[in-house]
Every structure is written in structure tokens, then in C-alpha cells.
Amino acid sequence: MFLPVIIAGGSGTRLWPLSRQLNPKQFLPLVDVDLTMLQATIKRLDGLEHLPPRLICNEHHRFLAAEQLRQSGYDGVKIILEPAGRNTAPAIALAALQAISEDQDPVMLVLAADHLIQDIDSFHCGVRAALALAEGGKLVTFGVTPTHPETGYGYLRRGEPIGSGGFKVDRFVEKPDLKTAEAYLAEGDYYWNSGMFMFRASRYLGELERFQPQILSVCREALAKGQQDMHFTRVDSDIFASCPDDSIDYAVMEKTEDAVMVPMDAGWSDIGSWSALWEAGIKNADGNLFKGDVLSERTSGSYVHAAHRLVATIGVEDLIIVETKDAVLVAHKDHVQDVKKIVDKLKDGQRYEHANHREVYRPWGVYDCIDSGERYQVKRITVKPGEKLSVQMHHHRAEHWIVVSGTARVTNGEKNYLVTENQSTFIPIGQIHALENPGMIPLELIEVQSGAYLGEDDIVRFEDVYGRVKG
């Protein structure tokens, strides 16, 4: 039996405008309409005997991650929260240290939450082969059998055979140019570096202490001085900020003498760009992959994602077109790596579109900003049954709530009362207030904000069941 450790960090900027900083690709249903990338990662473990998975994610994604785990049947799974991303070597160290502190020394299967694997049987075979090697003290990585000369992945060179189905890693190589990638494919001994690993927790920590002791020291201290909040483990943010930013490849795998590789031909992709998503999907006779309400004429080789309205294309080829409520991306497939440059421009311009969608998920539900102006903003708010917003107040805005469906329990200063369908209530500037759904169905309401400043940081929280200070 092994411990799945799922790393769900990263912002997925190359899949903007669907993937955004506060709702990145690992939490989106990019390939399977019914499962997010994280949920698909968990589901592909079905059929393997394993311990409950452990998740590592950014502090900002904690409730999103917990809810998706709950939907997958893993309510209350332990989640390690990183205050800031410091790459994979520290993240895995935190998971290994926590497991050992619980009087366990499990073999850990380290998976990324945003990978696609289409052949589950082959994946299971690879994991079982790796488990035998990891139990014998090896540090295993998975080499993906290449299908074409890819320049966007790092590579592994296969060495001599070891054990049943494994090989020593002769060397790790960086992302090659096209000519070098073609040579790798022709030689047959090179594999894509999948970024998936398997090893015993103590073996990883031992090699980390040998080759990068500062990472281990910082992670050990940050975890020891952290806090437990329900099933969330919060590491000390100040201490963790001093941790070196290093990948597991650079910190350990390229240096250890016990690195071995298990080949895997399982339809793997890291879905690192829109063109990769197009390649992984089922296309029509014209080579198009359409999602949503799409009409086309003389269109070929294109990916079109229509999230909220009709998108029509005429006389185009090899395009990526992605429509969301607040942004539209049009790019040639050969230039999708430059999407990150657009995200950088959004950040430089201090625009919200790089960080969030118009729809924003909260632990209690979701809100959609449907209209805004200089001194007003209109939101559609949905509160899940039994959930409650924080007790709070605003210095610069008043709020008018109109209930569309369900029942709201409102705290408005010293008053507590119910507001039902087609009724409304007013919250003045500076008034302490709260909103709760006491019913069995979702509460939907329209909130009209008015005031000189309408930013989300104008929230003073006095009480919050989710442990939030602000935001």
C-alpha cells in the first residue's frame, strides 16, 4: 500500500482565460466534462490499493481543493497549505515529513494534479512496477514513451535494466531544440520526463538532506511551527518564504545514485498549452475540437471553447478561440506559448482578469459580478444550504439584497430576521452584518452595492466559520 501525494500548485497561465490565478487549470474540467483535472487524478487511482491521498496546494485554493476532494469521496483528507509556491522539492518534503511525524514511513506516489493519462491500465501497471522498486530503496521516476519530437518537455535517457520493468536513469536532459528532439526519438532510449515519482518518504528525505540540506531544514522548521486548522496544515509562512525554490529533479533526482525509471506508455500529457489540449481531444473530420455552442464554416485544425454564448468561425484554420464571461482569446496554435505574455500584461496593468473569473468561488458558494459602474456593482450570489458568510462590515459601501429563491437569515446590526423570495433588505455603510442559508435548497440573491469604493478588500471580518482573516 502506498500514499498518493498530489501536488496541486501552479497557476496554469498558458491556459488563460479559463485558467486563472485563483482558479487554475487543476481545478477545471478541461478534458472530462464531469471531472476536474484534480478529480480525474484521484479517480485514476481506483483499482490500486492505497492510503487516503494527501494534497499540497496554495493557501488561496484551500476551499476549492477541499470541496473537490469531498465530491470525490475524500471528505476530510489532509491538505498541506503552501503560503507561497517554492517548487516541487520543498512541497514533497513537507508531505514526507508530515507522514513520518505520524509514525509512518510510507512509499509515496507523487502525482501532479493537472496531468492527463488516457490509458489507466498502463498507468496502473507502471505504478505496480515502481512500487516494487521503491520498496527496495530506489527513487523512481516515470518516463513517458515519446510519440513525436517534443521540445516542450525535459527528457530521461534510459540506462541498464534493473528489477522488473525498471531501468537506471542514465541522465536527465533539459528541453531540447527540434533537431535534438528528433534525434532522441530516433535513438529510442529517451523518454519524456513525466514529473511523477515514487519512493519511500525516509529515502527521499535522506537524499534531500545529503544534496540540499537547507530545503529540508527550512521545511522541518516551517512544519513544526505551523498550525493545524481542521484538516488543513498551515506551515509557518515567514520560515517557508526562506526556502530555496528548487524542483525535485534539480535537488535530488539528478544527483542521487539510486534514480531509476519505469517506462510508461499511457497517453500522458501535462496539458501545458491550448495546443496540447487540442492534441489530446477527439476531433471532427476537419480536425476541429469544439466545446459549447459553436457553428463553423470552412474551419479546420482549430480548438474553439464557447463557455457562455454562440461562437461562429468562418474560413479559419489552426486557431485557438476561447470565450469566457469576461474575456476572449484568439491565437494561432503555433503561438500559444505566448499566452503568458498576455497574462503578464494583465498583471502589469493591475487588471483582475489574470487572477479571477467574473464568477468567484468561496467556501460558502459563488458570486458572479453581472454589472458594475463607477459607484455601483451588481452581483448574483448563491449560498449553499447550511452555509454562512462571515460577520463583517464595510467602510465604503452599502448593500441592498434581493432574494430570488430560497430563504436568507440576515444579521443587520442588532436585528436578526428572515428574508424570503421577492423580499429585500438594506445594509447601510458601516453596519455589522451577516448572511446565512438556513434552508435545504441553494439561496440565490441579487446584491446591489453602492459607494465610493467597491473593492473586495473593503471587508472587516469579526467572525468567520472558515477561519478567514480577509478576502
Q: Are residues 216 and 90 in the same domain?
A: yes
Q: Are residues 69 and 198 in the same domain?
A: yes
Position 171 scores a pLDDT of 92
* 3-state SS, one letter per residue, for 191-210: EEEEEEEEEEHHHHHHHHHH
Q: Are residues 371 and 301 in the same domain?
A: no
Could you give the CA distance from residue 418 to residue 407 in angstroms, rounded to a whole number? 7
Cell numbers of 131, please?
512500487
Torsion (CA) 100, 104, 106, 108 in degrees, nearest 10: -40
Q: How far is CA 185 from CA 118, 156, 165, 319, in A?
A: 21, 12, 20, 27
Q: Are residues 93 and 139 in the same domain?
A: yes
Last residue of one domain, picked from the residues 347, 381, 397: 347
Q: Are residues 33 and 148 in the same domain?
A: yes
Position 469 scores a pLDDT of 63
Position 406 scores a pLDDT of 97
Position 467 scores a pLDDT of 77
CB burial class (10 A; 0-12, 13-18, 19+) of residue 304? buried
| Prediction pTM value | 0.88
What SS3 state is found at 261?
Answer: strand
CB burial class (10 A; 0-12, 13-18, 19+) of residue 401? buried
Last residue of one domain, picked from the residues 322, 347, 372: 347
Cell numbers of 311, please?
461562437
Position 456 scores a pLDDT of 86
What SS3 state is found at 278?
Answer: helix
Could you give the CA distance from residue 9 to residue 194 in angstroms, rounded to a whole number? 16
What phi and psi values does residue 453 have, to the nearest 5 degrees?
-140, 130
Cell numbers of 324, please?
469566457
What SS3 state is found at 28?
Answer: coil
**What is the residue range of 435's domain?**
359-463
In order along its 471 residues, the chain shows pLDDT tens digits of: 999 999 998 888 999 999 999 899 999 999 988 999 999 999 999 999 999 999 999 998 988 999 899 999 998 889 999 998 899 999 999 999 999 999 889 999 999 999 999 999 999 999 999 999 999 999 999 999 999 998 889 999 999 999 778 999 999 999 999 999 999 999 999 999 999 999 999 999 999 999 999 999 999 999 999 998 878 999 999 999 999 999 999 999 999 999 999 999 999 999 999 999 999 999 999 999 999 999 999 999 999 999 999 999 999 999 999 999 999 999 999 999 999 999 999 999 999 899 888 888 888 999 999 999 999 999 999 999 999 999 999 999 999 999 999 999 999 999 999 999 999 999 999 999 999 999 999 999 999 999 999 988 899 999 998 877 644
Q: Are residues 151 and 7 in the same domain?
A: yes
- CA 214 to chain CA centroid, Å, is 27
Q: Are residues 146 and 12 in the same domain?
A: yes
Cell numbers of 163, please?
528489477
Q: Are residues 120 and 244 in the same domain?
A: yes
Position 223 scores a pLDDT of 96
Q: Are residues 286 and 321 in the same domain?
A: yes
Last residue of one domain, picked from the residues 347, 368, 395: 347
User: How many independent structural domains does the chain possess?
Assistant: 3
Q: Are residues 84 and 206 in the same domain?
A: yes
Q: Are residues 447 and 377 in the same domain?
A: yes
Place of cell 483528507: 77
Q: What is the CATH number of the domain that holds 440?
A: 2.60.120.10
Q: Kindly write down the DSSP assignment for every residue of 126-143, as one continuous string.
A: HHHHHHHHHHTT-EEEEE
Is-contact 459 399, C-beta < 8 A? no
Could you give the CA distance from residue 368 to residue 264 in angstroms, rounded to a whole number? 42
